[in-house]
Every structure is written in C-alpha cells, then in structure tokens.
Amino acid sequence: MRLTTKILLGIMGLLIVINSIWVVYDIRKEIKTNRESIYWEITELRSEINHLSNFNLLMFKLIDITENIIIKNQESLNKKVNILPEKIKYDKFILEKKLQSVNVVIHNETVGTLGSGVTLKYKENFYILTAGHLLNEKTDKITFSQNGENFGELEIIKWVFDLTDTTLEGVDLLLLQPKNKDLIPKLYIELADYEPLTATEVYIVGNPMGIENVLSDGRIIAYEGNYMVFIDHSYFGNSGGGVYTKEGKLIGINSIISNLGEVAHKSIPYVIGGTMRLNVINKFLEGVE
C-alpha cells in the first residue's frame, strides 16, 4: 500500500472518530437541556402547589395538567363507556344462565313429589345439595333430571332433617351423589365466603310447581336461628333450590315459605322464604370428603 493511501485512510478514520465524538456530545447536550427543562418545570409546579392553600385551586391545577391526556383519550374513553352497559348486560345474562344450569329437579319416586337441587363442588368432588324434607325415609328412591332429561338414581351421602322440629333451630339439608359415577357436571356452583348483610339483593332459582329453572330476584330481610329469611316470588317446588349472591355464590338452600297472599291456592304472590343459611350449610358439610 502506498504511503499516500495510508495517509488518506488515516485522515478518514480520524474524521470518523471526531464526527462520532461530536454526535455523542450533541446527544448528551440535548439530554442535559431536556433534563434541566423538566427539572425547572417540576420545580415550578412544586412551587405553585406549595403556594396553593385552597384545595379547590389545587384540584383545578391538577385538572389543567391532565387536560391534554383527557382530550387525547376522549374518543377511546367514549367507546369504553358506550360498551360498558352492554358488557354488564352480557355478564348478567351469562351468570343467570349458569345459575339455571346448575339447578336440577329432584324426584322422590317413592312418594311422587318433586323439588329442586343444586350441583355443588365441594373439596374437589361433585354433589347435589337439596332440602332434607324431600326425603321421607332413607329407602326412598330419589332421582334427578335437568331440562326434561332424567339422569338416574341418587345415593344419600348425608341427611339431616327432623320433621318434628318446627323451630328455627332445625336443619333441613340433604347431600346426594349420582349412583352413576361417570356423571360429571359441566357446570357447578361453589359456596360463598361469608353471609351477606340484610337488605342484600339475591337470586333464587328452583322449579316452582314443576316449572324448571325459574330464576327470580329477592332480598334478604333477616337472619333467624338457622335460617336466612328473604322475600321474593318463590313457591312450592322451590324447596332445595339455591339462593345466590349477585356474584353467583351459593348462600342458602330453600327450605320453607310463608305465603303473603289472601288466596294462596289461586295466586303466586310475594312470599317470605326461609333458607338454610350459609353457616349451617358449612357446618353440615363438615366431615364430607
């Protein structure tokens, strides 16, 4: 390689290095300038906030700061607000359909009566929880159906009910499982974590007068002994059906009703219902694997 070529390459290399150093210097200078600008903006804002003695003035200042953000996102926000009511309706519809789907019809083939039941998941196992008074004797033949299809006979896992106990301290619960162990529900419900306060709105699902999967709204009005008392449109056939929170958690099993109508056999008026409360259900399930 000729000497002149080496000199030219050396000069070009030196120029590249100098240019790189200059670019880095410009970048660092710009960063420093921006940092100082941001620092003074923050300092000025802090100073203004420190001098604001009135809370309303502070709020107006903060609103002014965020105004650009709000304007930029207004279109997106409007879309979300418009979609929200539809999403709430959709979620409510899905939940109500699930609660209807976990409801079953309980048939006492021995005495020819029917009631309601709930497909429950407890300790990773599946059961049907219902009211104890649907069973007369342990030898009664109990079957269950859903949407008109009979799924066969049930076996008793646990039963606590005393017909002679007419107080509010009695227990009226029956836990069952299909004799066909291959029957595994696609949908099931789980117990709530705590008992809701009085005046809380609830769902009641059952089979009043044999009409399947009737869902109605109710409201808790009191807790008396082992019972949660509510008011709704329940009727005969709802015994053993579930009472749920508006989030879809099981808080009670229907047990008794007290008709408020003048002519009970000709109408379906509002009724006061007595439900086995959550605390009683939890105690009843103790020892069940």
pLDDT tens string 239-256: 999 999 999 999 999 998
Tell me if 175 sits within 8 A of 158, measured CB to CB: yes
* Percent above pLDDT 70 for the chain: 64
Average pLDDT over residues 92-103: 91
Pairwise pLDDT comparison (50 vs 146), residue with the higher score: 146
pLDDT of residue 263: 46
- Per residue in 137-157, pLDDT (tens digit) is 999 999 999 888 899 999 999
Domains and CATH numbers, the chain: 57-101 (no CATH), 102-285 (2.40.10.120)
- pLDDT bucket at 270, cuts 50 / 70 / 90: low
Average predicted confidence (pLDDT) for the chain: 79
Angle 187-192-198 from CA coordinates, rounded to 5°? 130
C-alpha pair distances (Å), 53 with each of 49, 50, 64:
8, 8, 17
Q: How far apart (Å, rounded) are the C-alpha atoms in residues 46 and 41?
A: 9
Backbone angles phi, psi at 179, to 5 degrees: -70, -30
The pLDDT-based confidence of 88 (bands split at 50, 70, 90) is: confident
Quickly state the pLDDT bin for 166 (edges 50, 70, 90): confident
Residues contacting 239, CB < 8 A, separation 6+:
115, 116, 130, 131, 133, 134, 206, 254, 255, 256
